[in-house]
C-alpha cells in the first residue's frame, strides 16, 4: 500500500447523493473525503438535459449539474479523490477501505455508490447514449413529443417506462426477447390497454442506427430470435429498460441487502453497521431520481454527524 490516511467521514461515490452528503458533511466541519468511483458524477453524467431538478427552470445539462454540485462541496472543503474502492472492511472501527494502491480509514462511512442501468452492450448504444438512447424515461421522455420510440425489456420497469412515454410519444413499441412479459399482471394490463403501445415479441436489438452529430437515433435493427429474420424499424428514441444493478458487490456479507442487492437502511440512512450510512440509488429501487438521491445524501451526512457526536459523548 502506497498511502494510508485517516478521515472522519469518507463518502463513497460522487453522484447526486454522494456530493450532497459532501456539501452537508463539509459544512458540518467533518472534512469529508469523496472517493469518486468509476463514473465521477454518477448516472447524471450520461444524460443530457435535466429538466426536473428544482431550481433550474430552463433545465441544465446533467454533467454540468454534477459539476456545480462538486464545486459547491469543494467550496466548503470537501476533498475529491479520483479512484475506485476495491475492498472495504466494516467489521471494526475505524472502517478500512482500499482504492487501488491507497488505503483509507474513517470513523463514519457514507455509501453513495449508486446503481448502474443495465445496458445491451452494443457499440451503437454507447455511441448514441444521450442522443436518442436513454435508460431513463422520466429524465428524457419529454424530448420525444409526438415522436416514435421503442422500449427494450419485458419487466415492470419497461412497462412503466412505456406507459410514461405515451404522455409524449405518439407510438411506443416494446421490444422483448421472449413472447411473455416478466412484468406484474397489473403493469402488463395497463400497457396492453394503452392504444399507443404495441409489442414486438421474441426480438433483440442488434443495432441502433443514427448519428450523434446529426439528429441522433433514426432506427433499430431487430432480429427475431425464433425465425432469425431481421427487420429495420424507424424510431426517434430507444429506451433501455432491462433493469438496474445497485453497486453493492463490495458489501456482500457485510451489510444487509434485499433480494435485488439494494442496501437496506432503517431510521433514515443507517445500515446494520453503526457508523455506516447509505444514500441515493444504492438503497433506492423505487424513485431513483437526482432530487431524491440528493435528499437522502443530506440525510446521510446529518446521520453521520449525529453518530460522530454520540461517539464523542
Ligand atoms: P426485471 O429484472 O424484472 O426485468 C428485466 C427485463 O429486461 C426482463 O423482461 C428481461 O427479459 C429483460 N432483459 C434483461 N436483460 C436483457 C438483455 N440483455 N436483453 C434484452 N432484454 C433483457 O427488471 P425491472 O427493472 O423491470 O424490475 C426490477 C424490480 O423492480 C422488479 O422487482 C420490479 O417488480 C420492480 N419494479 C416495480 C415497479 C412498480 O411496481 N411500479 C416499477 C419498476 C420496477 P426476460 O424476461 O426474458 O428475463
Q: What are the pLDDT digits (tens) for 164-203? A: 999 999 999 999 999 999 999 999 999 999 999 999 999 9
What does the alpha-carbon distance between residue 51 and residue 142 come to, in Å, rounded to a whole number? 9
296 lines ligand 1 (CB under 6 A): no
**pLDDT, tens only, 34-49:** 999 988 999 888 666 7
Q: Which three cell numbers stand for residue 156?
A: 415492470
Task: Say which of 106, 107, 136, 284 is annotated catalytic.
Answer: 136
**pLDDT at residue 1 in the model:** 66
Q: Is 0.85 topped by the overall pTM?
A: no
C-alpha cell of residue 132: 436518442
Task: State whether the beta carbon of 284 lies less than 6 angstroms from ligand 1.
Answer: no
pLDDT at residue number 161: 92
Active-site residue 139, yes or no? Answer: yes
206 close to ligand 1 (CB < 6 Angstrom):
no
Closest CA to 132 of 219, 200, 62: 219
pLDDT of residue 198: 98
Residue 133 cell numbers, joined: 438512447
Task: Tell me how far the alpha carbon of residue 153 lies from the centroid of ligand 1, in angstroms.
Answer: 6
Residue 54 CB neighbour total at 10 angstroms = 8
CA 239 to CA 17: how far, in whole Å? 24
Residue 49's pLDDT is 72
Distance, CA of 295 to CA of 242 (rounded, Å): 26
Whole-number CA gyration radius for the chain: 21
Which of ligand 1's atoms lies nearest the C-alpha of 204? 20
- 298 catalytic per annotation: no
* Confidence (pLDDT) at 47: 66
What's the chain look like in SS3? CCEEEEEEEEEECCCHHHHHHHHHHHHCCCCCEEECCCCCCHHHHHCCEECCCCCCCCCEEHHHHHHHHHHHHHHCCCEEECCCCCEEECCCCCEEEEECCEEEEEEEEEECCCEEECCCCCHHHHHHECCCEECCHHHHHHHHCCCEEEEECCCHHHHHHHHHHCCCCCEEEEECCCCCCCCCHHHHHHHHHCCCEEEECCEEEEEEEEECCCCEEEEEEEEECCCCCEEEEECCEEEECCCEEECCHHHCCCCCECCCCCECCECCCECCCCCEEECHHHHCCCCCCHHHHHHHHHHHHHHHHHHHHHHHC
Q: What is the pLDDT along the chain (313 residues), one digit of tens a residue?
A: 668 999 999 999 999 999 999 999 999 999 999 999 988 999 888 666 788 899 999 999 889 999 999 999 999 999 999 999 999 999 999 999 999 999 999 999 999 999 988 999 999 999 999 999 999 888 899 999 999 999 999 998 899 999 999 999 999 999 999 999 999 999 999 999 999 999 999 999 999 999 999 999 999 999 999 999 999 999 999 999 998 899 999 999 999 999 999 999 999 999 999 999 999 999 999 898 999 999 999 999 999 999 999 998 7
The answer, yes or no, to whether any atom of ligand 1 lies below 6 A from the CB of 177, is: yes
Atom number of ligand 1 nearest to Cα 120: 18
Quote the pLDDT of residue 95. 98
**Is 120 near ligand 1, meaning CB less than 6 Å away?**
yes
Q: What is the dihedral of CA 179, 185, 190, 195, to 10 degrees?
A: 30
Q: CA-to-CA distance for 240 and 161, rounded, in angstroms? A: 9
Place of cell 422500449: 151
160 C-beta closer than 6 A to ligand 1: yes
Mutate to test the pocket of ligand 1, among 156, 259, 285 (most ligand atoms within 8 A of CB): 156
For residue 184, which atom of ligand 1 is closest to its CA?
34
**What local confidence, expressed as pLDDT, does residue 48 receive?**
66
pLDDT of residue 46: 67
Amino acid at each position: 500500500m502506497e498511502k494510508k490516511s485517516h478521515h472522519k467521514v469518507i463518502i463513497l461515490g460522487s453522484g447526486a447523493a454522494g456530493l450532497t452528503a459532501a456539501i452537508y458533511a463539509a459544512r458540518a466541519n467533518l472534512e469529508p473525503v469523496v472517493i469518486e468511483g468509476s463514473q465521477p458524477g454518477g448516472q447524471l453524467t450520461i444524460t443530457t438535459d435535466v429538466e426536473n431538478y428544482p431550481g433550474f427552470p430552463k433545465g441544465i445539462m446533467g454533467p454540468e449539474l454534477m459539476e456545480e454540485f462538486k464545486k459547491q462541496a469543494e467550496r466548503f472543503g470537501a476533498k475529491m479523490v479520483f479512484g475506485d474502492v476495491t475492498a472495504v472492511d466494516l467489521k471494526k472501527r475505524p472502517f478500512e477501505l482500499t482504492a487501488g494502491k491507497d488505503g483509507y480509514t474513517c470513523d463514519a462511512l457514507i455509501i453513495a455508490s449508486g446503481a448502474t442501468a443495465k445496458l445491451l452492450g452494443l457499440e451503437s448504444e454507447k455511441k448514441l447514449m444521450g442522443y436518442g438512447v436513454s435508460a431513463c424515461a422520466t429524465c428524457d421522455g419529454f424530448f420525444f413529443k409526438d415522436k416514435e420510440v421503442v422500449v427494450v425489456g419485458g419487466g415492470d420497469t419497461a412497462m412503466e417506462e412505456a406507459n410514461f412515454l405515451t404522455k409524449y410519444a405518439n407510438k411506443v413499441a416494446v421490444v422483448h426477447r421472449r413472447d411473455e412479459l416478466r412484468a406484474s399482471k397489473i403493469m402488463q394490463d395497463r400497457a396492453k390497454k394503452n392504444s399507443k403501445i404495441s409489442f414486438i415479441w421474441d426480438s433483440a436489438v442488434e443495432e441502433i442506427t443514427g448519428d450523434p452529430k446529426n439528429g441522433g437515433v433514426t432506427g433499430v435493427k431487430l432480429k427475431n430470435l425464433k425465425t432469425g429474420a431481421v427487420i429495420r424499424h424507424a424510431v426517434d428514441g430507444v429506451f433501455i429498460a432491462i433493469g438496474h444493478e445497485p453497486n453493492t458487490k463490495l458489501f456482500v456479507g457485510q451489510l444487509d441487502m434485499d433480494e435485488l442487492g439494494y442496501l437496506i437502511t432503517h431510521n433514515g440512512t443507517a445500515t446494520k453497521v453503526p457508523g455506516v450510512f447509505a444514500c441515493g440509488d444504492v438503497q433506492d429501487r423505487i424513485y431513483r431520481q437526482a432530487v431524491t438521491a440528493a435528499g437522502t445524501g443530506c440525510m446521510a451526512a446529518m446521520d453521520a454527524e449525529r453518530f460522530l457526536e454520540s461517539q464523542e459523548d
